[in-house]
Structure 1
Amino acid sequence: MTNHLLALSDFSKQQLQSLIVRAIMLKNESLEGVRHQQLAGRSVCLLFEKPSTRTRVSFESAMYRLGGQVIFMSAKESQLGRGEPLKDTARVLSRYVDGIVVRTFGQEVVEELSKYATVPVINALTDLYHPCQVLSDIMTVIEKKGAPENLKIVWIGDGNNMANSWIEAASVFGFSLTLSCPEGYEPNAAVLEAARKTGVGDIRLVSDPAEAMEDADVVNVDVWASMGQESEQEKRVKLFQPYQLNAALMGKAKDDAIVLHCLPAHRGEEITEDILEGTQSVVFDQAENKMHIHKAILELFIGGSTEVTNQ
């Protein structure tokens, strides 16, 4: 198994399933009062070029709850903002910490860091992928609905990094994924082609969101303009309006369908208040699960846990 977590397609179904099973176990043990100390004496550097609330706090809390220590560095506080070569940053940090969690813009940043680092590099978000988030989302799906292979999962809205990681997940786990995005805002074509070439999972693009929502078990939405796209906000609000998750659109899904949103949510844009706060919404359970999946990820990659099957 690779020593880094850069994209979901780098792993087998068994490896990812095992990671989620471990996260659920750690969650349940925490609820029972078990104090985890597997990473006592270990440290991780959170190297964030993009701001964050949930990703930062969930990774920090996960590391602390495993007994480890966290060093947080923004671009302003690191040499990344001053032009130091990534290969130098990777080699120096590898001598100080036991792992590097990176939240940045280009996927090439985490790839180069992983090439030169001698400690695990974990992708906490790039413009191309958001693998840790989608793992926590699938964990939530399993808790609420069972095995994803038996479900119809739908993505509505921008074909962004989340959509790309959902596509990779479908090609690994083998579930049905239907995406509905405005023309010109589809997921990355290379990611989609690579996923379809595996022959695993039923991955479809449907232009009409109402058609995509038919008989959906899981409905996933995200903001219409991500970080770095603020200048497109007004244009996107107009273009994406038919893709708003509201009562009419939810009426196309199954009565027991669940709603996912990785947050932060722009209420009244990609999702209405009544849907976000409704009985089908599991977004806050989903947000909590980020911490638990991060515990499992840190335990495996930094602690070399034998609790997770490396197949």
Structure 2
Amino acid sequence: MTVRHFLSLMDCTTAELTSLLKRGIELKSLHRQGVIYEPLKNRVLAMIFEKASTRTRVSFEAGMIQLGGQAIFLSPRDTQLGRGEPIEDSARVLSSMCDAVMIRTFAHQTLETFAQYSQVPVINGLSDDLHPCQLLADMQTYLEHRGSIQGKTVAWIGDGNNMCNTFIQAAMQFDFQLKVACPEGYEPDQQFLAAAGDRVTLTRDPREAVAGAHLVNTDVWASMGQEDEAQARLKRFAPYQVTPELLDLADKSVLFMHCLPAHRGEEVSAELMDDPRSVVFDQAENRLHAQKALVEFLLVD
């Protein structure tokens, strides 16, 4: 049997992704009703963290427990990967002991190499290129609040980072238009732009990107590993702060999302986080339920 991995949104069909969102909503409902549902009894997820995280660790760990399984947290201090063991060797060993592996790392190539040598599904918990699990949660949140995102307009304001790259893939898979506003030199990866074609529009003006948008997204201006650039980025991105006034230019049904953690007063004004149009905390919770749907999809026949 062929092992399914989830390294990017493109590893699933549009139908499969849509099914995952609906299943995430179902699992959320079951959880809120207090229904015990444990299809992953005695299944183990290994979680390799080269980059620290609150939401990724807690959502995967809690999700596995809620589905009847277990999760093992592994930091660079806890594995031989942190001491130079080849990725190929670690993949062979860990995948012989666990039922799935989630990796949160820097280089996307690490994920691809690990998946190549793994006997079990490998999940991208984040790489410098992509963050597909976050987009599952984002798309589930939009579906819950506004219905299908097909044919809508989405705005990305700020750094053309891994989240922006993944929104480009989401535009392709979920059939929406994406408008990206970023400073010159901070564009999303060209390979993703090329694949998306005219689904994505680049602009330097946040007001232009937000005009008529049904969903507005942003992220921190300096990601993990870019701390030495933080001051220069603060100055460069200052005109790209998302505020209630900027959101007023969007469609009246607009939602605001941020994958968190947020730097209030930088990429997002402090008051916008608690604006009625903000769904950032629903979005955060949905990491749990979307990922439960994903792990179920990958592990349950």
Question: TM-score, normalization: structure 1?
Answer: 0.94
Check whether the contact 1:2–1:10 (CA below 8 A) recurs between aligned residues: no
The whole-number CA distance in structure 1 between the counterparts of 2:160 and 2:189 is 7
Map of 1:224 onto structure 2? 221
Amino acid at match of 2:61: E
Would you say how many aligned residue pairs link Structure 1 and Structure 2? 300
Aligned positions of 1:184-263 closer than 5 A: 184-196=185-197, 202-263=199-260
Map of 1:307 onto structure 2? none
Amino acid at match of 1:253: A
Aligned positions of 1:104-119 closer than 5 A: 104-119=105-120
Between 149-158 and 60-69, the greater mean CA deviation after superposition: 149-158
Map of 1:299 onto structure 2? 296
The whole-number CA distance in structure 2 between the counterparts of 1:280 and 1:208 is 21
The whole-number CA distance in structure 2 between the counterparts of 1:216 and 1:2 is 38
**Which of 254, 266, 284 does residue 269 from structure 1 map onto?**
266
Post-superposition offset of 1:109: 0.3
Q: Does 1:284 align with 2:281?
A: yes
Map of 2:54 onto structure 1? 53
The whole-number CA distance in structure 1 between the counterparts of 2:179 and 2:202 is 6
The whole-number CA distance in structure 2 between the counterparts of 1:210 and 1:259 is 15
The whole-number CA distance in structure 2 between the counterparts of 1:125 and 1:245 is 24
The whole-number CA distance in structure 1 between the counterparts of 2:300 and 2:177 is 34
Between 80-89 and 24-33, the greater mean CA deviation after superposition: 24-33
Identity %: 48
The whole-number CA distance in structure 1 between the counterparts of 2:151 and 2:142 is 11
Deviations 1:275-306 (A, max 9, x none): 111111100000000000010011111223xx
The whole-number CA distance in structure 2 between the counterparts of 1:2 and 1:72 is 22
Map of 1:127 onto structure 2? 128
Between 273-282 and 245-254, the greater mean CA deviation after superposition: 245-254
Amino acid at match of 2:5: H
The whole-number CA distance in structure 2 between the counterparts of 1:269 and 1:128 is 23
Deviations 1:70-92 (A, max 9, x none): 11100111111111000100000
2:97 is paired with a residue whose SS is coil
Check whether the contact 2:46–2:100 (CA below 8 A) recurs between aligned residues: yes
The whole-number CA distance in structure 1 between the counterparts of 2:75 and 2:217 is 29
The whole-number CA distance in structure 2 between the counterparts of 1:34 and 1:7 is 31
2:96 is paired with a residue whose SS is coil
Post-superposition offset of 1:235: 0.5
The whole-number CA distance in structure 1 between the counterparts of 2:83 and 2:204 is 43
The whole-number CA distance in structure 2 between the counterparts of 1:97 and 1:185 is 39
What root-mean-square deviation, in Å, do the aligned CA atoms of Structure 1 and Structure 2 show? 1.1
The whole-number CA distance in structure 1 between the counterparts of 2:292 and 2:156 is 26
The whole-number CA distance in structure 1 between the counterparts of 2:196 and 2:276 is 33
Deviations 1:162-198 (A, max 9, x none): 00011001111111111111110000001111222xx
Amino acid at match of 1:164: N
The whole-number CA distance in structure 2 between the counterparts of 1:286 and 1:129 is 18
Map of 1:90 onto structure 2? 91
The whole-number CA distance in structure 2 between the counterparts of 1:100 and 1:288 is 21
1:149 is paired with a residue whose SS is coil
Deviations 1:84-112 (A, max 9, x none): 00010000001110000000000000000
2:212 is paired with a residue whose SS is coil
1:279 is paired with a residue whose SS is coil
The whole-number CA distance in structure 1 between the counterparts of 2:178 and 2:96 is 42
Amino acid at match of 2:143: I
Query: Structure 2 regions of 5+ residues with no counterpart?
Result: none
Query: Structure 1 regions of 5+ residues with no counterpart?
Result: 305-311
Post-superposition offset of 1:2: 6.2
